[in-house]
Amino acid sequence: MSMAVRPADGIAWVTGASTGIGREVAVALARAGWRVAATARSAETLAELARAQPGIVAVPVDITDRAALRAVVDRLEREEGGIALAILNAGTYVRDRAEDLDEAAFARTIDLNLMATVACVAALMPGWLARRRGQLAIVSSVAGYRGLPGALSYGASKAALINFSESLRFDFDRLGLKVQVINPGFVRTPLTDKNDFPMPFIIEADDAARRILQGLARDRFEIAFPGRFVQILKRLRCLPYGLYFALVGRQTGARRGQDPS
């Protein structure tokens, strides 16, 4: 894997930076000496963040607007000395089940979590190919390891992001670029605050940001935390389907005839 980039190499770009993990990562990067372009839809929230933390530049944009996204990346490349580090964190979570499956809502989750992330990478590639230097971190989730109750669209999008990152690794190694995938467990954010079920091993967003920055400086492809929870889920990933469905169904109340909500 290529070496990690440094603040002298250019600006850091963080999407989904208005709240939660993205906000805390942007703050941590700025405190570590990076000039940070913080992106989200809320211009007001980003402006408050930039006022509160020196080193952060507010760059409001809806990354599902492909033309606006391209314009933002082009401007950062032109005016900020190029994007050296990109942490693609923007995403959403909607709890969904078969009995209330909504195709349009499913497509919105896929578009933001997956396709907008792909669009960000596509926008970054010309500059990175020209410089043969760049570091990409894609925020997925441990929910992408295997199917889970109530996570039809979210789990599918996160599984796709893991696979996308794995495939990118082969090309990035050849091109002299660095890619990592970030798979957090439960992190206390406005999205997880909506959950009405137990969230084992939940950590705070600033703790997640600290772990992410540590991982960015290392050579490991996957940045996953908290460790105990990740190991449990990775063991579950190795189980045959019969055991997996029985065990997870029992633990979550999603067995036949039960309401998992």
* Amino acid of residue 18: S
Q: Which residues pair with 37 in a beta bridge?
A: 13, 57
154 is known as an active-site residue: yes
Extract the tokens encoding 114: 């997956």
The Cα–Cα gap between 15 and 62 comes to: 10
Buried b (16+ CB within 10 A) or exposed e, 156-194: bbbbbbbebbeebbeebeebebbbbbbbbbbbbbebeee
From the candidates 93, 154, 241, 244, give the one annotated as an active-site residue: 154
Residues 91 and 41: beta-carbon distance below 8 Å:
no
Active-site annotation, residues: 154
